[in-house]
A = this chain, B = another copy of it.
Amino acid sequence: MKYKMDRPPMGWNSYDYYDTTVNESQVKANADFMAAHMKDAGWEYIVADIQWYAKRAGSMRERYQYIPFGDVEMDEYGRLLPDVERFPSSAGGKGFGPLAAYVHSLGLKFGIHIMRGIPRIAAHRHLPVQGTGRTADEIADPSSICGWNPDMYGIRKGVPEAQAYYDSILSLYAGWGVDFIKCDDICNTNLYPGNPYSAAHEVEMLQRAIQKTGREIVLSLSPGPALIEKAWHYQRYANMWRITDDFWDDWDLLRNMFDRCELWQAHVAAGAFPDCDMLPVGKLGRGFGRERETNLTREEQRTMLTLWCVFGSPLMIGAELTKLDGWTLSLLTKKDVLKLADCHYTGRQHEKNDEYAVWSCANERTGEHFLALFNFLEEERAVSCDLREVGQFAGSAKTKAAELWTGDIIYPESGTLTDMVPPHGTRLYQLY
């Protein structure tokens, strides 16, 4: 059975800051920081994102994000290896083993990004598929490509040796100690609008390959938007799947996430977490050629973290951790809020209109009840909620509300909680 954790993965991902350029010392520095300052708040995954195998990645950034037909590190079975120049400890065929060991030594877990499929060049070179008498050209599907990255061909459906290829890479990665796989161009294969979940069979192959390793490896699917009609399949075979296209530090995208969370709220479960994407806080964008501070206001950042937690999304930080300021670090280590990111804390949208939203959250086991107010407007406004109308609270009279971000205490009158909510901001209460 797939890995069934109660809490969605929490960690750091290199993409928002480094794009394709992250290297070993940068990964280590972020892991060091997390271990020292964030681990006890629940943060644990360190994930190296896209193109760690690509040589000179990022060197033609003004023309391409991904250099077409560029050189990659690859073994004789068409399995990608870390670029030795950026990841020196991988020299001598050790892959990410040494780096994973370092991360593990800090009490953290290690993850990597992959593109679905097999390197195009492996297919054109007819490289052997490990453990089979077949070659890459026999399992690669020449008409299945990624629309935005030139590295891979998809794997054919219905060819027995196709599973062997995924087994061969998972065996390699598990041997390195990988704990987390973020697979891209698979959740929504958007080049194929008539069939945007065209690689569903590759999701199944990946999950089977993971289970064969015997290791608890998280399977994360990207990019979104995931297809709500395929919810069962994502939930059956993956641990997390992206519910929007790339999320960045932009209010319109954050506002839109409320619509996506409404859509996916019934699909959070043990081992299954619809994914709102990385948290673009702190310093961002250096690999993209424009390092910057996040464009989200502090209120918007609280709104984001509140929504992600009440909804139950995975939490992956996009910032360069070593450059976090004190306020952001305190935001990211607010344990009272972070604990809601757990499948036993069920979040439900209670109301949403053009001006505001209200979510409730309940833990059936502990009997805890929470309420979140969100203000979509650019000015402060009062938001009210008749707590007797909230389905999750049915039958319990609420007389006190403790706001978790500020510590304010409010006493609802006649069952109705009313409070002022900042522009684009939130108020999150535990109710008694």
Stretch of A136-144, A215-223, A287-295, A334-342 that contacts chain B? A136-144
Which residue of chain B is the closest to A194 with respect to CB atoms? Answer: B193
Asked if A323 is at the interface (CB within 8 A of a chain B CB), the reply is no
Q: Are A143 and B137 CB-contacts (below 8 A) given A229-B228, A263-B229?
A: no
Within 8 A of B (CB), among A137-192: 137, 140-143, 145-148, 150, 191-192
Q: Which of B68, B143, B145, B232 contacts A349 (CB 8 A)?
A: B232
Stretch of A80-88, A121-129, A418-426 that contacts chain B? A121-129
Contacts of A1 in B (CB 8 A): 388-389, 391, 394
**Interface residues on chain A, number (Cβ under 8 Å):** 40
Within 8 A of B (CB), among A387-415: 388-389, 391, 394
Contacts of A389 in B (CB 8 A): 1
Contacts of A126 in B (CB 8 A): 69
Could you tell me if A137 and B68 are in contact, using CB atoms closer than 8 angstroms? Answer: yes
Could you tell me if B142 and A145 are in contact, using CB atoms closer than 8 angstroms? Answer: yes
Contacts of A388 in B (CB 8 A): 1
Q: Are A143 and B142 CB-contacts (below 8 A) given A232-B265, A394-B4?
A: no
Q: Are A142 and B232 CB-contacts (below 8 A) given A4-B394, A124-B124?
A: no
Asked if A24 is at the interface (CB within 8 A of a chain B CB), the reply is no
Which residue of chain B is the closest to A266 with respect to CB atoms? Answer: B266
A142, B265: Cα distance in complex, Å? 37
Could you tell me if A263 and B231 are in contact, using CB atoms closer than 8 angstroms? Answer: yes
Q: Are A142 and B69 CB-contacts (below 8 A) given A124-B121, A231-B266, A266-B231?
A: yes
A146, B267: Cα distance in complex, Å? 34
A382, B131: Cα distance in complex, Å? 32
Could you tell me if A150 and B143 are in contact, using CB atoms closer than 8 angstroms? Answer: yes
Asked if A109 is at the interface (CB within 8 A of a chain B CB), the reply is no
Which residue of chain B is the closest to A147 with respect to CB atoms? Answer: B143
Asked if A262 is at the interface (CB within 8 A of a chain B CB), the reply is yes
A227, B232: Cα distance in complex, Å? 16
Contacts of A391 in B (CB 8 A): 1, 4, 269-270
A159 to chain B, nearest CB (A): 10
Asked if A120 is at the interface (CB within 8 A of a chain B CB), the reply is yes
Q: Are A68 and B142 CB-contacts (below 8 A) given A4-B394, A232-B349?
A: yes
Contacts of A142 in B (CB 8 A): 68-69, 120, 145, 150
A11, B140: Cα distance in complex, Å? 38
Q: Which of B120, B123, B143 contacts A148 (CB 8 A)?
A: B143
A262, B227: Cα distance in complex, Å? 14
Chain A 270-302 near chain B by CB (<8 Å), digits 1 or 0: 100000000000000000000000000000000
A123, B68: Cα distance in complex, Å? 9
A229, B147: Cα distance in complex, Å? 25
Contacts of A352 in B (CB 8 A): 232
A76, B140: Cα distance in complex, Å? 26
A262, B143: Cα distance in complex, Å? 30
What are the 4 A-B residue pairs with the smallest beta carbon separation, nearest first? A142-B150, A266-B266, A69-B137, A68-B142
Query: What residues of chain A have their CB less than 8 Å away from a CB belonging to chain B?
Result: 1, 4, 68-69, 120-121, 123-124, 126, 137, 140-143, 145-148, 150, 191-194, 228-229, 231-232, 262-263, 265-267, 269-270, 349, 352, 388-389, 391, 394
A sample of 12 more A-B contacts (CB under 8 A), given A4-B394, A120-B124, A191-B192, is: A1-B389, A4-B391, A68-B137, A69-B123, A69-B137, A142-B150, A143-B146, A143-B147, A193-B194, A232-B349, A266-B267, A270-B391
